[in-house]
Amino acid sequence: MLEKKEKDIGTCSEATLYFIIESFGGILWRLRHDSADGRIPIDHKSEQELQQRIDAAVDQTTRFGVSTPRTDKGATEEYMRWYRWWNSWHHEMSDEDWRKVDDQMLNDPEYLGKLQPPGSWK
């Protein structure tokens, strides 16, 4: 299943790409958090796989105008502007707004591809 998702990552919408990065990042954060205090055993292989998938998704932001999303030192300021633009919008939406998005996606499977925060990250 993950192999199919890796292929999809090169063609998914900008919103889908953001949600992939956000979801995998959250899973990785939780894995590191819970293993740091001994709640679960440290699993370097899973951490590495998640980080590789996040990196692959971050690299795809070039399709949406981010010229250099990351370097060997980590995420670039340009990528972080793109990410914060999406993240602010995502976390500032009310429950009612999310219900509207859910309803739209049920009625129009292509809606997620049209979804975008207002304004521009650039």
Once rounded to an integer, what is the mean pLDDT over residues 4-12?
Answer: 75
Q: What is the pLDDT of residues 41-67, one digit of tens each?
A: 988 999 999 999 999 999 999 999 999
Please state the pTM of the whole predicted model: 0.85
Report residue 1's pLDDT band, with 50, 70 and 90 as the boundaries. very low
For the chain, give me the number of helices (H) and strands (E)?
6, 2
With contact defined as beta carbons under 8 Å apart, do 22 and 87 qualify? yes
Average pLDDT, the chain: 91
For 63, residues 6+ apart whose C-beta sits below 8 A from its C-beta are 14, 17
- Residue 59 to residue 26: CA distance in whole angstroms: 18
